[in-house]
């Protein structure tokens, strides 16, 4: 399941295409293995779930943060995310934002990187503010 | 505990001469590597038991180290990583002992470990040269990315398993809970060791091939051990609730499925891929 990450953020079309490519490659390698085992281990559902989850997790990945913004604000982004996640509303927003991008924004605005960049920078700013607040309170 | 050790022994030594395919003269080297891996698993059990006085945690950690994809891959080939991991565990084990002479032996072993690693990756030599800081930081985050951790670990390109991350994607909840637990319990030493490994792995001259990152395996096992214990206790406390019981059972099945899938991949697909790559290498070069 190697290439979904190419070009960074995946799309639903990319995932579907990749499921079929992976299945084809894997099933043809299973020479002499029982049909039931092949179907049990190599099926669309499992491949789809793993690839979708991988795609979703990219939006919280330190490397993606580093490349979309800059490496040095990655700790601040995590700090911001961690602080925001303590509020249930913001936690929901943080968890749903990747789905909003994958399923909707990507189709409307193909070049969505600037929006994502602003989103990450805002979180980093919040992280910076909370960090400063902690330091001042000490 | 005995079951885990038997499992560790079997997974390290079964078909060792055949899988992965290789030359017959490397067999002895493989045996040494597998033995190092097996001893690491046994020792990490006693190390965690001694450090935290918790048998369940020790059991979870050693069983996870037994089943980790990078651990199996590295322990079944001629690998300096397996020996280095054993040295780290033995060194740390002795270092935390009350007796001074054991502490000294532990420190000496850790120094040997550093020398051993440096011999492999020439870290000092590279640190003394000019280093591109931006590239270094980018490499660092690339190695720490979720992609490499959970899905595709391409740091060991030729002969390694690229289809799996360093840990199973099914273990993602255990990983995050484990990190939270380690921070909560102020057990920073493991996380700091992990960051150091990531740092010098990002200096690898052959980057993106950076096998040094496999030294993370004991740290990952400890993180996942903490996560497993927390989740296990959570389900244990709520075992009368039918919903949580079912949820726990489903999660165990998912984990089992992930491990089974890996073993199928390792013993069926991986050999085939390595054979094909060998043929390609011979024809091409």
Q: What are phi and psi of B168, to 5 degrees?
A: -70, 140
What is A43-59 written as a DSSP string? Answer: -HHHHHHHHHHHHHHGG
Instruction: Note whether A58 contacts B151, CB cutoff 8 Å.
Output: no
pTM: 0.87
In angstroms, the CA B115 to CA B78 distance is 19
What ipTM does this complex have? 0.82
In angstroms, the CA B188 to CA B198 distance is 15
Question: What token pair was written down for A131?
Answer: 């960090």
CB-facing half-sphere around the CA of A108: CA atoms within 13 A: 7
| Closest CA–CA distance from residue A22 to any residue of chain B (Å) | 11
| Per-residue confidence (pLDDT) for residue A2, from 0 to 100 | 36
Residue-wise pLDDT for B167-211, tens only, equals 999 999 999 999 999 988 888 889 998 998 888 888 877 777 888
Of B256, B271, B272, B263, the closest CA to residue B171 belongs to B256
Residue in B with minimal Cα distance to A82 = B180
Which of A1, A37, A63 lies nearest to residue B141, judging by beta carbons?
A63
Of B149, B238, B224, the closest CA to residue A61 belongs to B149
Which of A5, A37, A71 lies nearest to residue B147, judging by beta carbons?
A5
Q: Are B190 and B47 in contact (CB under 8 A)?
A: no
Residue-wise pLDDT for B100-122, tens only, equals 777 788 788 777 777 776 666 66
Q: Are B37 and B9 in contact (CB under 8 A)?
A: no
Question: What token pair was written down for B68?
Answer: 């980790």
């Amino acid at each position: 399941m190697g290439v979904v990450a190419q070009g960074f953020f995946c799309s639903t079309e990319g995932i579907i295409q990749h499921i079929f490519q992976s299945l084809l490659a894997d099933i043809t390698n299973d020479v002499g293995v029982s049909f039931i085992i092949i179907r049990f281990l190599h099926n669309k559902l499992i491949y789809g779930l793993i690839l979708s989850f991988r795609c979703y997790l990219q939006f919280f990945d330190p490397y993606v943060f580093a490349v979309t913004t800059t490496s040095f604000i990655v700790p601040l982004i995590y700090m911001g995310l961690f602080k925001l996640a303590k509020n249930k509303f913001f936690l929901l927003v943080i968890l749903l934002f990747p789905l909003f991008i994958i399923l909707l924004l990507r189709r409307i605005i193909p070049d969505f990187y600037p929006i994502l960049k602003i989103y990450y920078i805002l979180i980093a700013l919040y992280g910076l503010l909370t960090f400063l607040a902690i330091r001042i309170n000490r | 505990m005995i079951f885990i050790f038997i499992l560790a022994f079997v997974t390290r030594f079964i078909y060792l001469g055949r899988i992965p395919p290789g030359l017959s003269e490397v067999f002895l080297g493989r045996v040494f590597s597998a033995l190092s891996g097996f001893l690491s698993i046994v020792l990490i059990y006693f190390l965690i038991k001694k450090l935290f006085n918790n048998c369940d945690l020790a059991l979870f950690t050693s069983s996870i180290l037994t089943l980790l994809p990078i651990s199996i891959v590295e322990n079944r080939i001629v690998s300096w990583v397996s020996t280095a991991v054993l040295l780290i565990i033995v060194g740390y084990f002795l270092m935390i002992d009350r007796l001074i002479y054991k502490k000294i032996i532990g420190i000496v072993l850790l120094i040997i470990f550093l020398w051993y690693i440096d011999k492999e990756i020439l870290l000092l030599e590279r640190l003394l040269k000019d280093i591109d800081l931006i590239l270094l930081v980018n490499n660092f985050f690339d190695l720490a990315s979720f992609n490499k951790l959970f899905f595709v670990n391409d740091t060991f390109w030729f002969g390694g398993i690229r289809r799996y991350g360093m840990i199973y994607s099914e273990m993602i909840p255990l990983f995050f809970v484990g990190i939270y637990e380690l921070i909560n319990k102020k057990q920073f030493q493991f996380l700091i060791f992990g960051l150091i490994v990531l740092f010098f792995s990002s200096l690898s001259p052959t980057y993106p091939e950076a096998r040094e990152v496999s030294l993370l395996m004991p740290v990952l096992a400890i993180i996942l051990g903490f996560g497993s214990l927390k989740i296990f206790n959570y389900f244990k406390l709520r075992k009368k609730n039918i919903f949580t019981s079912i949820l726990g059972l489903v999660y165990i099945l998912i984990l089992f499925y992930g491990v089974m899938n890996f073993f199928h991949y390792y013993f069926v697909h991986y050999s085939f891929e390595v054979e094909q790559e060998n043929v390609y290498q011979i024809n091409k070069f």
